[in-house]
Amino acid sequence: MVMNAMETGYIEGGEIFKQPRREIRPRPFRSLKGRAFCAAGTTPSMISAARLGLGRLYLGQPMVGGGGQRRPAFQPQTAAETARAPEEAAPEDAWLDTWNKTHPDETPPQPFVSNLVFIDDSPDKAFELARTYAVQTFRAAIKNYELTSSHHGSIKGYESYKGLVMEEGDVDKAIEGVIESSIHGNPQMILEQLAEVKKLRDPQGMIPHLYTGGMPHEDAVRSMHVFARHCLKEMQSWQAAPETINPPMALAAE
């Protein structure tokens, strides 16, 4: 309904809630096609996202850390890695296969990637940041998605989520994987790890996530300053995949 509304300028319908027709204000000035993205990890989610015309948003993927080497994702899959690579979630690329079938005349948009980034001039300090705030983010995800609950995956359409359920004892074991798979280090180490992500995903944009897990504001601001001072220009110089979101934005600014 939302995607259709952004094409037509009004929203209505629905099998359950029967939304009355309402015009969107302000009216959409441009289609969302190629500009809407979804973090989908399970095969059914990837299929649904592709059918809706949603591009891929990889969260914390691929798993890299501690010097830029790719690391295997810890098991079982958790909400902290919901955007697990399609080739790891299924024998075939469910998203791309579905996109080509349902949108045969539309070029699939290149993905966006977002990684937790813990940066400091001292690699040891950066590791401490990851050990504190990546873990708090992970624990919040476990609670939010109820991944230790036996009912998880019991709702129709969400059967595949049964594979995400974790025993209480598994949470502590998985924490070490969360720390190791986060991107952390001094500026040079951060650039090396982000370059590895870029190489593997060929995204049209990258989103370094510097504020997470209940991090105090002053720590977040300090991290942003270090990243901007030492990493931002280098990242901006990287060649990216064809963009689907930027060119008409000048029109919106006028």
Q: What is the pLDDT of residue 136?
A: 93
> Does the pLDDT of residue 145 top 60, yes or no?
yes
40-80 pLDDT, tens digit per residue, is 878 888 999 999 999 999 987 544 444 434 443 333 333 33
Contact between 86 and 93 under an 8 Å Cβ cutoff? The reply is yes
Q: How far apart are CA 173 and CA 77, in angstroms?
A: 13
CA distance 97 to 91: 11
- pLDDT per position as a tens digit, 166-184: 887 788 888 878 888 889 9
pLDDT of residue 44: 87
**How far is 10 from 144, CA to CA, in rounded Å?**
32
Per-residue pLDDT tens digits for 106-139 = 999 999 999 999 999 999 999 999 999 999 999 9
CA dihedral 33, 13, 160, 106 (to 10 degrees): -20
pLDDT score, position 248? 55
Pick the CATH number of 39-239 from 3.20.20.30, 3.30.460.10, 3.40.30.10, 3.40.1520.20: 3.20.20.30
DSSP structure class, residue 144: H
What value does the mean pLDDT of the chain take?
A: 83
- Model confidence over 72-97: pLDDT tens digits? 333 333 333 333 333 444 447 899 99
pLDDT band for position 101 (cuts 50, 70, 90): very high
pLDDT at residue 40, rounded to an integer: 85
pLDDT of residue 64: 43
| CB-side neighbour CA atoms (13 Å) of 68 | 14
State the average pLDDT over residues 97-103: 96
Q: Are 46 and 66 within 8 A, CB to CB? A: no
Site of tokens 């974790």: 166
Across 239-250, average pLDDT: 75
DSSP state of 196: H
Domain boundaries, the chain: 1-32, 39-239
Q: Which two tokens stand for residue 94?
A: 């469910």
**3 state SS for 34-92:** CCCEECCCCHHHHHHHHHCCCEEEEECCCCEECCCEECCCCCCCCHHHCCCCHHHHCCC
More confident residue, 90 or 165: 165
Predicted confidence at residue 254, as pLDDT, reads 53
Residue 249 is predicted with a pLDDT of: 54
Q: How many residues does the chain have?
A: 254
Question: Who contacts 189 (Cβ-Cβ below 8 Å, separation ≥6)?
Answer: 67, 68, 123, 126
Structure tokens at 134: 């990546």
Given this model, what pLDDT does residue 243 score?
Answer: 86
Residue 31's pLDDT band, with cuts at 50, 70 and 90, is confident
